[in-house]
Amino acid sequence: MDLFAKIEKNGNWRMSQEAKAAGAYPYFHELRSGQDTVVDMEGRRTIMLGSNNYLGLTSHPKVKAAGIAALEKYGSGCSGSRFLNGTLDIHAQLERELADFLHKDDAVTFGTGFQSNLGILGTIASLGDYILCDKENHASIYDGCKLSYAKMVRYEHSDMADLEKRLKAVPETAGALIVTDGVFSMSGDICNLPEIVALAKKYGARVMVDDAHGLGVLGKTGRGTAEYFGLEDEVDILMGTFSKSLASIGGYMAAREDVVEFVRLNSRPFIFSASMTPAAVCCARAALEILRGEPQRVARLAELSAYMRRKLKEEGADIIESQTPIIPIYTYENDKTFLACRLLLERGVYVNPVIAPAAPAGQCLLRTSYVATLTEELLDEAAAKIGEVLRIVNG
């Protein structure tokens, strides 16, 4: 059998070609400007409602200046693994600053957020252990579970009764880790961390929170989901990314000192990957410094998100309720989702299409997300256009 036969059988390639020919392909649109509230997308002024740049720091002068200075001092890359020649003083400084901000003993950084979950889960858990995984966790968590050789047990999304049922079935001789997104990336809802922590204590499990969409979004100072619930001392492992609120690229783990050192010395995705580039490190450090000094950005983000929820409801949009800057709008069907994205882009508004398997069949979405540097005027404009398009799509 030809190795490539699966490509034709799968059908994705053909469907993408047909969608492109019909002008309905919703992916890989090219930006001609940096990430901002308003961007140049393929020559069109476009309000950006599809970015994870939650604090609006990708275009902040201090962040850009930090990246330029790092490039001039350290060059474009490290040409090696952190384990050998690729550790710069700025890597260690960023890790200390993260640990201090997150109220943990230590932290370790990875090249991407996806790699972070591979590196953490594939090292902390192993054959004979159990990982209890929320069904709506990020794909990188699922792949990290596979890499670990631990037994992955999925529980229904945010269903604490189901989680307890699964925990009861874990052998007393096995290690157990409950891993959950802090803020779920598609729906924008927040995990039930108080109940997760309580169950972990009851059954002797450890807790890991992927706070990629929680850092800079939740908590009085933006420390994320654990701060939001007042449970920072109860979460064993915090994972996050620099590609969202911290305006860079990369990821991290923050935990107890011995746990972090164990990962440093044993994580294959960490040991056998080149380290974060100097510019990425210094941009993340600058963004973290801004977050620490300007917690009002977190409050402003919440204010704008609540404002947009009200506007979308006034326009008749069927939204998923949440307390985060992720506001999904139901479109239900694939065709309606793609049509809505195309019509919105023609009107100068970018949103993300979410279809199966990222959303359950028949529950397709327009995923909108918001940035602290947006204005009410831009949100008014975008909401009116979303309402117009939804009325067209829904007939």
Active site residue 91: no
- Tell me which of 91, 138, 244, 311 is the catalytic residue: 244
User: Exposed, middle or buried, 244 (CB in 10 Å: 0-12/13-18/19+)?
Assistant: buried
Category of 161 on φ-ψ map: left (φ > 0), alpha (ψ -120 to 50) or beta: alpha
- Residue 333 in 3-state DSSP? coil
- Tell me which of 91, 104, 138, 213 is the catalytic residue: 213
Distance of alpha carbon 299 from alpha carbon 323, whole angstroms: 12
- Tell me which of 185, 187, 245, 248 is the catalytic residue: 185
- Residue 22 in tokens: 């019909």
Calculate the alpha carbon distances from 103 to 65, 92, 106, 209, 263 in Å: 28, 16, 9, 14, 19
Distance of alpha carbon 107 from alpha carbon 261, whole angstroms: 9
Distance of alpha carbon 300 from alpha carbon 297, whole angstroms: 5
Distance of alpha carbon 107 from alpha carbon 268, whole angstroms: 17
- Residue 277 in 3-state DSSP? coil
Active site residue 244: yes
Active site residue 336: no
Calculate the alpha carbon distances from 11 to 335, 336, 361 in Å: 17, 20, 18
The residues that are catalytic are 185, 213, 244
